[in-house]
Structure 1
Amino acid sequence: MGIIKEEKLKFLFNQFNHTSEFKLFEELASGHINDTYLIKTHEKPYFVLQRINHKVFKNVPGLIHNKVAISRHLKEKLGHLSEQVLRRHVLDFINTKNGAPYYKDKDGNYWNMMVYIEDSVTFETVNNEEVAYEGGKLFGNFLFLTSDFLASKLTDVIPKFHDMSFRFSQFEEALKVASVERLNLANTYITEVNELKEEMHILQKLKESGAIKLRVTHNDTKISNALFDKDNKGLCVIDTDTVMPGIVHYDFGDAIRTICNTAPEDEKKLELVNFNICYYKAYVKGFLEKIESDLSAVEIEHLPLGAKTMIFIMAIRFLTDFLNGDIYYKTAYPEHNLDRAKNQFKLIESLSEKFKEMGINNL
């Protein structure tokens, strides 16, 4: 199997426009959706070859167009940097020999390739304020540098991804089909969803009214999608598959959700789940250093609500999947999705206790 895979990857690698010679490969297992391989060549740079999962993403050409267009835009904005430095701060995609941004194989799979960023590290979790601060700078700068890119030019690769009304309609449908047993187990959290409904629609209403700017957003700002150098300084935002039109609160909130939880998102011991206000403050400091000048007063005022809203979206999605019988997220045991939902609701509770302290004017 290994030899077959190596021959296939070598063939795919050679469909792209480069002058390097394939030496060996390593599978990069950090993602949950796509297949990603590090291609080592006889001379550097190395390359990252990736298969985009067309069963998850229905418009892969559009997705790849998004990634390439945003990288091209970032390169133009950072054109004062040398090519060597630029390749460490912006994803560099390689076209095929036919000039296309992707190669489609005989099985209908889409492949794209980029230059590997050497001597970089990623973090699955944040363990100090410095990494939170540097992560804030990276994601804030990504939003700032793309703020003049017309978001309407991007393909909406996952329609209604952060649409709160859509998530509530999915939840309400799940209530109709859920077993009595699952309804009973989830009863406390079903009540909590309904109690939070009005507050959780505030950002969507502001977006729909035009009070908050529609902009380019990354939409998967977990800390593992930020590259750092060996001194823990931010290098590059990666995994731009979900770049779409959105609002700043999506990216801010999702980063805070993943950075400030003191426990894994499926931790059963809820007393271990708390909102780390110190990491929040460090992230906000870095984030605003880069993008505050481009944010309106309304956007800044609602950043803390962005954090609460994005935690809630994951909570309702986990709870909905549990009620549906676990049809979306992979689970390791029968109540895995319920435990994930409980975890996020506990995080909301902990955040709510510190909400006044989270206001930007209080930092």
Structure 2
Amino acid sequence: MRRAEIDGAIGAQTYASLVTIAEAFEIPSPVETVEPFGRGLINDTFRVAAGGVRCVLQRINGTVFPDPFRILSNIQALDRQARRHPDLGFRVPALIPTRAGDAGLRAPDGNVWRLMTMIEDTVGLPRVEHPDQAREVGRLLGRFHTLLQSLPPEALGVTLPGFHDTPAYRARFFSVLARIEGARDNPKVETCVRFAIERQALARRISNARDRGEIPVRVTHGDPKLDNILFDRDSGRAIALIDLDTLQPGLIPHDIGDCLRSCCNRSGESAHGRTQVMFDLAVAEPILQAYAEQTRAWLNPEEIALIPEAIRLMPFELGLRFLTDHLEGDRYFKVVEPGENLRKAEIQFALVADIESKAQDIEIMVNRFFHSPT
């Protein structure tokens, strides 16, 4: 990619300014190339090459994350924990310090940048195509949670306040719905609104269990979707969970439910047409089995009991967020065309409905894998 093309692809940052930022970190100088990298919707991400070293440069979105340096501190805590448990084979993209010895760089315009090692010889998967891949997803998430279950949640800061606070998302949805005149005139919006209203009690069940002290707050990833899992190119083993911005105190059922929401809907979040959306039990089964093998020794009974509820809750929560953002004029989630967030809400709600039709099968799986070793 030529420099002029890169300048056009990266918006406010020029190629020269990116080189200057990259060279502020402890990497060989001069920087050879900087190019846009990945498909993230929140941060600006670039691949940097310098002296035979390849790394990932990111501008942390300060509008979304109020304290970017808290994210960096949490990643360092995860890295230290992983180094203490090399037997788990979990790899963490390490932060490269600035030449001043800081975890990140605050640029003159106030933006915070980080540079991380690239985990080489890995690939991501657009979808789960084989049971072995599904087992790897479950095994990796289970090892990740096992790695962190001995880390006190108070050792990490909250990087995204209100994340996975489904009751708050529900309250915002109703507030926006009441405020926007004619919001329900669109028949597709009305269908989604009715779906959300009929299931609004779902929003509080897991948070209520937390508030009653039935399930503990632990350190969680926050966004363990398939896009954030890296597989070894040669062996096919899942070896890393990336995109660690939402690593913070949270609830294990949320992580499990979000992982299954992502992996078991093969049509993806942007599919066209509700009829294509389904929750694939053939993918869910090996994920749950492998996850249970890693975690059944320490998960408490209430966390296990809430897994089926979480599998239903997470697409409901995401659908509610997409619908709210559509009503507000697409302020949070980036869209390519008008109506995209509404379509995504329809997809997530269709996934909820399919999960409800398979609730008994999901319950049977959870009971079999978590309560009786296989």
TM > 0.5: yes
Check whether the contact 1:62–1:157 (CA below 8 A) recurs between aligned residues: yes
Question: Which residue is equivalent to 2:10?
Answer: none
Q: 2: CA distance between counterparts of 1:18 and 1:76?
A: 26
Q: Which moved more, 1:342-351 or 1:328-337?
A: 328-337
Unaligned runs of 5+ in 1: none
Q: 1: CA distance between counterparts of 2:117 and 2:321?
A: 35
Residue of structure 1 aligned with 2:58, choices 50, 54, 60: 50
Q: 2: CA distance between counterparts of 1:327 and 1:97?
A: 37
Question: Which residue is equivalent to 2:367?
Answer: 361
Identity %: 30
Check whether the contact 2:82–2:92 (CA below 8 A) recurs between aligned residues: yes
**Matched letter for residue 245 of structure 1:** P
Check whether the contact 1:183–1:323 (CA below 8 A) recurs between aligned residues: no
Q: Shift of residue 357 of structure 1?
A: 0.9
Question: Which residue is equivalent to 1:142?
Answer: 144
**Matched letter for residue 31 of structure 2:** F
Q: 2: CA distance between counterparts of 1:325 and 1:179?
A: 13
Residue of structure 2 aligned with 1:133, choices 125, 132, 135: 135
Q: 2: CA distance between counterparts of 1:226 and 1:264?
A: 16
Question: Which residue is equivalent to 1:37?
Answer: 46
Question: Which residue is equivalent to 1:98?
Answer: 100
Q: Shift of residue 177 of structure 1?
A: 1.9
Check whether the contact 1:179–1:323 (CA below 8 A) recurs between aligned residues: no
**Matched letter for residue 64 of structure 2:** V
Question: Which residue is equivalent to 1:246?
Answer: 250
Q: Which moved more, 1:329-338 or 1:257-266?
A: 329-338
- TM-score norm. by structure 2 comes to 0.89
Q: 1: CA distance between counterparts of 2:228 and 2:98?
A: 25
Q: Shift of residue 342 of structure 1?
A: 1.3
Check whether the contact 2:28–2:50 (CA below 8 A) recurs between aligned residues: no
Q: Residue 36 of structure 2: SS of its match in structure 1?
A: strand
Q: Residue 198 of structure 1: SS of its match in structure 2?
A: helix
Question: Which residue is equivalent to 2:19?
Answer: 10
Aligned CA RMSD, in angstroms, stands at 2.0
Unaligned runs of 5+ in 2: 8-12, 370-374
**Matched letter for residue 145 of structure 1:** L
Question: Which residue is equivalent to 2:80?
Answer: 72
Q: Residue 209 of structure 2: SS of its match in structure 1?
A: helix
Q: Residue 113 of structure 1: SS of its match in structure 2?
A: strand
Residue of structure 1 aligned with 2:342, choices 338, 344, 349: 338
**Matched letter for residue 243 of structure 1:** L
Q: Shift of residue 39 of structure 1?
A: 1.5
Question: Which residue is equivalent to 2:192?
Answer: 189
Q: Deviations over 1:45-89 (max 9, x none)?
A: 4222211111221111112111222222222222x69xxxx7x82
Question: Which residue is equivalent to 1:199?
Answer: 202
Q: Residue 114 of structure 1: SS of its match in structure 2?
A: strand
Are 1:26 and 2:30 matched, yes or no?
A: no
**Matched letter for residue 295 of structure 2:** I
Q: Deviations over 1:84-123 (max 9, x none)?
A: xx7x822211111222100111111211112111111011
The number of residues matched between the two structures is: 356
Q: Shift of residue 236 of structure 1?
A: 0.9
Q: Deviations over 1:166-198 (max 9, x none)?
A: 011101101112232534522232222222122
Q: Residue 191 of structure 2: SS of its match in structure 1?
A: helix
**Matched letter for residue 207 of structure 1:** R
Q: 1: CA distance between counterparts of 2:220 and 2:310?
A: 13
